[in-house]
Amino acid sequence: MMKSGNLDRRIHIVRTVQTGTTPLNEPIFEDVEIAALWAHRQDVSDSERYTADIVLSTLLTRFTIRSTETTRGILLTDTIVHTGWAWNIDGIKETGRRDYLEITARTSREPYEGEAVLSGQNRVIPVVGAG
């Protein structure tokens, strides 16, 4: 059984949304924080591969968060931002009786490459290689 004291990591759920169009009718996208949450983090596995003289590293993690109306709206296309890294969501499942959600996510340990104002940081996360 999860206890509130175990929710000791701050994560941000970021969603890419269309905010308008250019004069050429091309969509303009922006990253928007939809929630800042306390979570429990459990690293499940990590791996490294060598490809074309490049080391590819992946970390698979489970984040447990409280189940609320907002958190039940998290999508697989959303991104978790934690420790400065972007985590891609692989799956979301309910644990208990709508008490908690368990999110399985993976990161290649690359910096978050979007641009969103994350609550509690009073700054815009810079765009790194976004296009």
Boundaries of every domain in the chain:
4-107
Per-position pLDDT tens, the chain of length 131: 566 678 999 999 999 999 899 999 999 999 999 999 999 999 998 766 666 666 667 889 999 999 999 999 999 999 999 988 899 999 999 998 889 999 999 988 777 766 665 665 544 444 333 33
Q: What is the pTM of this model?
A: 0.77
pLDDT reported for residue 57: 75
pLDDT at 56: 66
**114 CA to centre of own chain:** 11
Give CA separation, 79 vs 3, 26, 116, in Å.
25, 23, 11
CATH of domain 4-107: 2.40.10.270
What count of residues does the chain have?
Answer: 131
